[in-house]
């Protein structure tokens, strides 16, 4: 194992956690968007939170572990 290489387990877990964060963001966004009329108080907060989680998950999936 060279000095600049990350352990395989660390790389796999980073991608897996990124996938789960993105999945949670998609679920939050979808549920809020489909039930927007029944959520009367500030649905934009949950939509933005879902988008932030989706973005964070994408960043974690595409990041290179060193």
Asked if residue 48 belongs to a domain, the reply is yes
pTM of the model: 0.83
Q: Give the per-residue pLDDT at 64.
A: 82
Asked if residue 33 belongs to a domain, the reply is yes
Number of domains the chain contains = 1
Closest to 15 in 3D by CA, of 5, 26, 23: 23
| Greater pLDDT, 36 or 66 | 36
Q: Give the per-residue pLDDT at 2.
A: 57
Residue reference for tokens 């897996």: 16
Asked if residue 55 belongs to a domain, the reply is yes
Q: Specify whether the CB–CB gap between 60 and 17 falls below 8 A.
A: yes
Asked if residue 30 belongs to a domain, the reply is yes
Q: Specify whether the CB–CB gap between 22 and 58 falls below 8 A.
A: yes
Q: Specify whether the CB–CB gap between 35 and 57 falls below 8 A.
A: no
Q: Give the per-residue pLDDT at 55.
A: 97
Provide the residue range defining the domain that includes 55: 21-62
Asked if residue 45 belongs to a domain, the reply is yes
**Residue pLDDT, tens place only, 23-64:** 999 999 999 999 988 878 889 999 999 999 999 999 999 988
Asked if residue 57 belongs to a domain, the reply is yes
């Amino acid at each position: 194992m060279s000095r600049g290489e990350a352990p395989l387990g660390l790389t796999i877990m980073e991608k897996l956690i990124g996938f789960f964060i993105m999945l949670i963001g998609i679920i939050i966004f979808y549920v809020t968007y489909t039930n927007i009329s029944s959520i009367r108080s500030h649905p934009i907060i949950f939509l933005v939170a879902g988008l932030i989680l989706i973005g964070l998950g994408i960043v974690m999936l595409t990041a290179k572990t060193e």
